[in-house]
């Protein structure tokens, strides 16, 4: 992904997480973490497809770098997911065990 993070990177990410948490805790809907996660992944994929399309002037141009574009986003997601899973493993008791 980006080589350097801008100063509001984590603020934007936290805003998305807050929205997901709000959806998860919506008392009027039967939401599970899996449902919220699936919607969030779809939204991210859809937005990234738009970001990619915005960088091109024709479908041919976009199609010519399709595989590289997919690889870029998949690689970035994998790096971020692995880093966050490792952080949860390292801090599992603090993050997941109830205090008491």
Architecture of domain 9-96: Orthogonal Bundle (1.10)
Give exposure, 49-82, as e/b (b: 16+ Cβ within 10 Å).
Answer: eeebeeeeeeeeebeeeeeebeeebeeeeeeeee
Per domain, the residue ranges of the chain are 9-96
Average pLDDT (15-43) is 92
Which pLDDT does position 2 carry in this prediction? 57
pLDDT class of 100 with cuts at 50, 70, 90 = low
3-state secondary structure of 6: coil
Q: What is the pTM of this model?
A: 0.85
């Amino acid at each position: 992904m980006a080589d350097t993070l801008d100063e509001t990177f984590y603020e934007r990410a936290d805003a998305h997480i807050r929205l997901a948490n709000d959806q998860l805790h919506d008392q009027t809907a039967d939401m599970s973490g899996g449902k919220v996660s699936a919607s969030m992944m779809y939204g991210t994929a859809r937005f990234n497809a738009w970001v990619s399309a915005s960088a091109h002037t024709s479908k041919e141009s976009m199609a010519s770098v399709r595989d590289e574009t997919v690889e870029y986003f998949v690689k970035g997601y994998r790096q971020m997911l692995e880093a966050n899973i490792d952080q949860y493993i390292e801090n599992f008791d603090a993050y997941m065990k109830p205090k008491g």
